[in-house]
Amino acid sequence: MANEGQRQYFANAMRTKRWPTREPFTALAIAPLLEVAKLRPGVAVLDIGCGGGQATKAVASVVGSTGRVVGADISEAMLELAGSRLEPTDNNISFVLADAQTDAIPGAPFDAIVSQFGLMFFEDPVAAFTNLRAHLKAGGALTGAVWQGMEKNLSFMAHRLSARGFQREMPKQGPVPQGPFAFAHQDYVNGLLVAAGFSQPKWVLHTAVRPCALEDLVTVQMLLDAGIDQDRVEEAYAIAVDELGAVTGNDGVVQCPLEIQIFTCVAP
């Protein structure tokens, strides 16, 4: 089965429980994503990797009662969270369990596809983007928010420390990069999308700052849960605190920088 690693990763109850604490950071991409996507009332939109559904609801507010939005995700637990947030007035939203790399998602063809940090995890990204293109009407656009490099995103402390050798066992690497920073290099993503039949993407860079507490970003338990070596976790935690100190005010509030990039491309 395709993307089985991601299926198992997001089936972890600990990650699902912790996800709402992560959403205040990822949600900062919603407004710039919608600005680039240029959606309009009455259109049909597919939201890939919808997670807890925050972006899906934001899209629904733009397309209005005459439009519709389908949120698709590989994680049943995330979809349960998204469904629990629906209100009676959200009758233009539906959620579906699907693997966007291989599955036919109900509701096609769509006028547009959007994704807020949900595109960087496919085992075969060309196959995934080819499948997504088949879900679009001619001239429909795919717009995705992805992270810039790891060095510019201090909210990913466990990833940064793992890259320095603190993780006791690195996950096996598949045939292509996967993970939050897999699409950090624009030329690489351009090649994938063009190979899948999309137009040459256009990119917009976006910088945001999330004020937060230190424990929103790193704790010893977070590092242990992420696989940091128990014998070195205190050392790793001290490094994280030191790095975050550069963006921490005298009041103890961390002004956490987030470096996002958004691409958009068209299906001929």
Residue 136 lies in a domain: yes
Q: Which tens digit of pLDDT belongs to each residue from 183-226?
A: 999 999 999 999 999 999 999 999 999 999 999 999 999 999 88
Q: Which tens digit of pLDDT belongs to each residue from 20-54?
A: 999 999 999 999 999 999 999 999 999 999 999 99
Residue 57 lies in a domain: yes
Kindly tell me the number of DSSP H helices and DSSP E strands found in the chain: 10, 7
pTM equals 0.93
pLDDT reading at 150 higher than 70 = yes
pLDDT reading at 171 higher than 60 = no
Domain that holds residue 13: 4-153+172-211+260-266
Give the closest residue to 84 by CA, choosing from 172, 19, 179: 19
- The pLDDT, as a whole number, for residue 49 is 96
Give me the phi and psi of 137, to 5 degrees please.
Answer: -70, 155
Q: Which tens digit of pLDDT belongs to each residue from 65-75?
A: 999 999 999 99
Cα–Cα distance measured from residue 129 to residue 55, given in angstroms and rounded to the nearest whole number: 20
Residue 252 lies in a domain: no
In the predicted model, what is the mean pLDDT of residues 145-167? 91
Give the closest residue to 154 by CA, choosing from 254, 225, 81: 254
How is the beta sheet containing 44-48 ordered, strand by strand?
93-97, 68-73, 44-48, 110-116, 136-147, 254-266, 202-212
Strand ranges in the chain using DSSP code E only, listed in sequence order: 44-48, 68-73, 93-97, 110-116, 136-147, 202-212, 254-266
Handedness of CA 209, 213, 216, 222 (dihedral sign): positive
pLDDT reading at 83 higher than 70 = yes
- The pLDDT, as a whole number, for residue 97 is 97
In the predicted model, what is the mean pLDDT of residues 147-154? 92
- The pLDDT, as a whole number, for residue 187 is 97
- The pLDDT, as a whole number, for residue 226 is 86
CB burial string 104-113: b at 16+ within 10 A, e below = ebebeebbbb
Residue 148 lies in a domain: yes
Domain count, the chain: 1
Residue 8 lies in a domain: yes
In the predicted model, what is the mean pLDDT of residues 246-266? 97
pLDDT reading at 4 higher than 80 = no
Handedness of CA 165, 171, 177, 179 (dihedral sign): negative
In the predicted model, what is the mean pLDDT of residues 228-254? 95
Compare 3 and 50 and report the one with higher pLDDT.
50
Task: Give the bridge partners for 165, in sequence order.
Answer: none
Residue 166 lies in a domain: no
CATH number at residue 123: 3.40.50.150
Cα–Cα distance measured from residue 169 to residue 54, given in angstroms and rounded to the nearest whole number: 33
Comparing 115-124, 170-179, 213-222, which segment has the lowest mean pLDDT?
170-179
Residue 163 lies in a domain: no
Q: Are 135 and 46 in contact (CB under 8 A)?
A: yes
Residue 231 lies in a domain: no
Give the closest residue to 140 by CA, choosing from 114, 109, 112, 106: 112
Q: Are 105 and 48 in contact (CB under 8 A)?
A: no
Q: Are 163 and 223 in contact (CB under 8 A)?
A: no
Q: pLDDT class for 18, splitting at 50, 70, 90? A: confident
pLDDT reading at 173 higher than 60 = no
Give me the phi and psi of 103, to 5 degrees please.
Answer: -90, 150
Side chain identity, residue 244: L
